[in-house]
Structure 1
Amino acid sequence: MIGWIKGKVVRRNPASGVIIVEAQGVGWELQVSLQTLAGVPIEGQVVELWIHTNVREDAIQLFGFADEREKQLFRMLTSVPKVGPRNAVAVLGGLPVLELVECIAAGESAKLVKIPGIGKKTAEQIVLTLGDKALTLLEFMRSSGDAAPASAAPASADASDELATAARDVLLSLGWKAKPVEKALAQVLEELGDKAKGTSLDALVRPTLARLMER
C-alpha cells in the first residue's frame, strides 16, 4: 500500500485533475483535488504528496493530497453513503481544507451545494454524517496549526497567459460555467495588475474560486 510519494512532476493536467509523478523510474498517475493541484509545482520540479489507494474490481486508482488532513477528510467523505472518491475530490476542490471542515462542522450544507456536482441531498448527507467528526477534526487542526495549504511554485512573466488558461481549465473541469469563470478570473487578474505576470496557478485559482462561491 502506498501512503506517500516524493518525485518529479512529469505531467500535470489541470482540465482532468490528473498529474503524473516519476519516482524510482515509475510514473505514478494521481487524481488530485483542485486545492492540491494548485500547489503542485510545474513539470520537472519535485513534489511530495500523501496517497490513498482505491481498489475497484476493474481498476486501481491513486489519489494524491497536499497533506494528511486533506487525505483524512477524503476518507471521511467517502464514508458518507453515495459519496464516492470522485465526489469527494470535487468537494475537496471546492474549498480549502480548514474552511471545508469549518463548513461541515457548522452544518452549512448550502455552502456545499455551490460546489459543482454536489446536490442538496448529498450536501445535507455530508453534514449529517460528518458533523461531529468534523468538529473534532477542526478542534485538532486549530490547536496544531497544520491547516496551511501547499505552496505553489511561482511562474515566470512569460507564463502568465498560460497560467490564466490553466486556471480557467481547472475551474471548467470542476463543472463551473465558462462565462462566470471568465468574468471572475478577469476580476482577479485586474486586481493583481502587474503582479499577475509573476504569480502562480494557486494565486489565480483560489481567489477566482472564492468569487464563484460567493455568487
Structure 2
Amino acid sequence: MIATLSGKVLYKTTDRAVIDVGGVGYETIVTTDAIARMPEKNEQVFLFIHTNVREDAITLYGFLEEEEKELFLILKTVSGIGPKLALSILSGLKVADICQAISAGDIKRLTTLPGVGKRTAERICVDLKEKVGHLAYGGGAVGITAPVTLQGGSEVSDALSALSNLGYPDSVAQSALSAVKKQVGDEEFAKLKVEDLIRLALRSLA
C-alpha cells in the first residue's frame, strides 16, 4: 500500500496531479487548495498518500500535510461520507478551522462546506467531536491507547499496530475499529480475530 510519494510534478488539473517517481507516473486526486499550493511542472513535490482499494479500481488521494490526510481518514469513518465528499470538505476550509467547527458543534459553519447539509453536519459533530481536538489547534497526530476505549485484549492492539504499519494514524485506526465494534456489537467484537478486525476496519475506511 502506497503511503507517500516523492517525485516531480508531470502535470496537474483542477482536482488531480500526476507525479513522476522514477519514471512511473502516479495519478493522485487532491484538494483544490493542494493544487493551488503544489509546485509547478517538473518541480519536486512530496505527498502523503491514502491508497483506496476497491474491486474495480485503485485510487490514490494525495495531501501536502499529514494532518490533511489524517482528517480525510477520520471524516471517512462517518456514515455517508466517502472519499469524494471528504476531499470536498477539505477543499473548503483549513484543517484547523474544520476541526474547530466540529469541536464547537458549529453546524452553521460546517454547512458552508461543499456538499455538507445540516443533517450531515450534525452527524459529523456527533461522531467526531471527541476525535479531532488534537487537530483543531495545529497539534498534529497523537497516540491513542486502544484498550482504554475499545478493550478486546491483544487482538485489538495487534490490529491497531497492523493498521499503523499500513500508514493509518493512530486516531484513524481507533475510529475504524470503533466503527467495527459499533457495527457488530460488544460480544461479537470480543470474539474477532486479528485478521477479521483488520479486514473489517479496512472495509470501514474504504
Q: TM (normalized to structure 2)?
A: 0.65
Tell me if structure 1 keeps the 8 A contact 2:111–2:118: yes
Q: How many corresponding residue pairs?
A: 142
Q: CA deviation at 1:134?
A: 1.2
- Specify the alignment match of 1:6 in structure 2: 6
- Specify the alignment match of 2:39 in structure 1: 41
- Residues 21, 142 of structure 1: CA spacing in aligned structure 2 closer, same or farther, 3 A cutoff? closer
* Aligned counterparts, 1:30-179, within 5 A: 30-138=28-136, 141=139
- Residues 82, 10 of structure 1: CA spacing in aligned structure 2 closer, same or farther, 3 A cutoff? same
Q: Distance in 2 between matches of 1:70 and 1:116?
A: 17
RCO comparison, higher one (Cα < 8 Å, 6+): 1
Q: CA deviation at 1:143?
A: 11
Q: Distance in 2 between matches of 1:131 and 1:37?
A: 29
Tell me if structure 1 keeps the 8 A contact 2:96–2:137: no
- Residues 4, 142 of structure 1: CA spacing in aligned structure 2 closer, same or farther, 3 A cutoff? closer
Q: CA deviation at 1:95?
A: 0.2
Q: Which AA in structure 2 matches 1:83?
A: I
Unaligned runs of 5+ in 2: 143-206
- Specify the alignment match of 1:201 in structure 2: none
Q: Distance in 1 between matches of 2:36 and 2:105?
A: 27
Q: CA deviation at 1:35?
A: 2.4
Tell me if structure 1 keeps the 8 A contact 2:134–2:141: no
- Residues 117, 143 of structure 1: CA spacing in aligned structure 2 closer, same or farther, 3 A cutoff? closer
Q: Distance in 1 between matches of 2:6 and 2:141?
A: 28
The 4+ residue runs of structure 1 with deviation greater than 4 A are none
Q: CA deviation at 1:126?
A: 0.9
RMSD, matched Cα: 1.9
* Aligned counterparts, 1:20-31, within 5 A: 20-31=18-29
Tell me if structure 1 keeps the 8 A contact 2:9–2:45: yes
1:68-87 CA distance string (max 9 Å, x none)? 11111000000000100000
- Residues 8, 140 of structure 1: CA spacing in aligned structure 2 closer, same or farther, 3 A cutoff? closer
Q: Distance in 2 between matches of 1:53 and 1:92?
A: 17
Query: What secondary structure does 2:100 align onto?
Result: helix
Q: Distance in 1 between matches of 2:49 and 2:141?
A: 24
Query: What secondary structure does 2:27 align onto?
Result: strand
Query: What secondary structure does 2:124 align onto?
Result: helix
Q: Distance in 1 between matches of 2:39 and 2:20?
A: 13
Query: What secondary structure does 1:64 align onto?
Result: strand
Q: CA deviation at 1:112?
A: 1.5
Q: Which AA in structure 2 matches 1:3?
A: A
Q: CA deviation at 1:139?
A: 5.5
Query: What secondary structure does 2:132 align onto?
Result: helix
Q: Distance in 2 between matches of 1:8 and 1:115?
A: 31
Q: Distance in 1 between matches of 2:42 and 2:101?
A: 36
Q: TM (normalized to structure 1)?
A: 0.62
Unaligned runs of 5+ in 1: 145-215
Query: What secondary structure does 2:108 align onto?
Result: helix
